[in-house]
Amino acid sequence: MLEESFTVRMARPEDDAQIARLVVEGFVDKFRPIFGRRTSRSVGIMERWVNLEHSLGGVRSLVVESNATARLAASVGVRTGPSEDDDALSRGLWEALRRDLGFLRASWAATLLSYPRYAASSSEAYVERLVVTEAYRRSGMARALLEEAERLARKTGKKTVGLHVSEGNVPAIRLYEETGYAETSRQRSLLTGQFLGIRDWLYLQKRLW
């Protein structure tokens, strides 16, 4: 049991930088092969991405904040609405990648970051970039964020919650199985298999009653 107390709340615009740091830290195995020696720059790129998702992409984030330090310990993105402008979203991300990485590396990064592919559905909320900072894992934060994401999904009239998880991500797969998610399909990518060590992306769904 943790001594510290925490609050789960909706993210505010000023949280974007901390969310980006959490995501890069939590998914460093994915970011390192994409950004190589420029991995430190991926925090700025991720911040821009989160920012664009919030402003244009129909995504809201939930965070877990320490009541003592106001630092964030965990976060998740929940897509509950249609993207206002998919083109602007991809253009903004592309600009951020190109500015920081140069054309060739940016093309490479954009291709790998486009997996797993997802087609939004109006009856489903999509959960993405769930991450808990290492020091606070196994204390129920991911479970709490998923419950809150599902509450948000119900409030916005969704019938299901969907998410992707990479094969081999045992902690995440256990978490989703424990909380009622089941695999409904798989995507195979030889490209991410070769360069990220992730060949299969599992699609999991939970029906909301």
Which residues of this chain interact with ligand COA, rule CB under 6 A?
26-27, 130-132, 137-143, 165, 169-172, 174-175, 178
Q: Write down the least CB distance from residue 87 to ligand COA, Å.
A: 27
Query: Smallest distance from the beta carbon of 84 to ligand COA, in angstroms?
Result: 25
Select 90 or 169, whichever has its Cβ closest to ligand COA.
169
Peptide bond preceding 82 in cis form (omega within 30 of 0): no
Strand order in the sheet with 72-79: 6-10, 59-66, 72-79, 124-132, 160-166, 200-207, 182-188
List b or e across 20-58, with b for residues whose CB sees 16 or more CB atoms inside 10 angstroms: bbbbbebbeebbebbbeeeeebbbebbbbbbbbbbebbb
Return the number of the residue (55 or 139) whose C-beta is nearest ligand COA.
139
CB of 168 to ligand COA, least distance (A): 10
Q: How many CB atoms lie within 10 A of CB 197?
A: 13
- Smaller CB separation from ligand COA, 70 or 170: 170
The smaller minimum CB distance to ligand COA, of residues 55 and 169, is found at 169
Residue 126 dihedral angles phi and psi, to the nearest 5°: -115, 125
Q: At closest approach, how far in Å is the CB of 190 from ligand COA?
A: 21
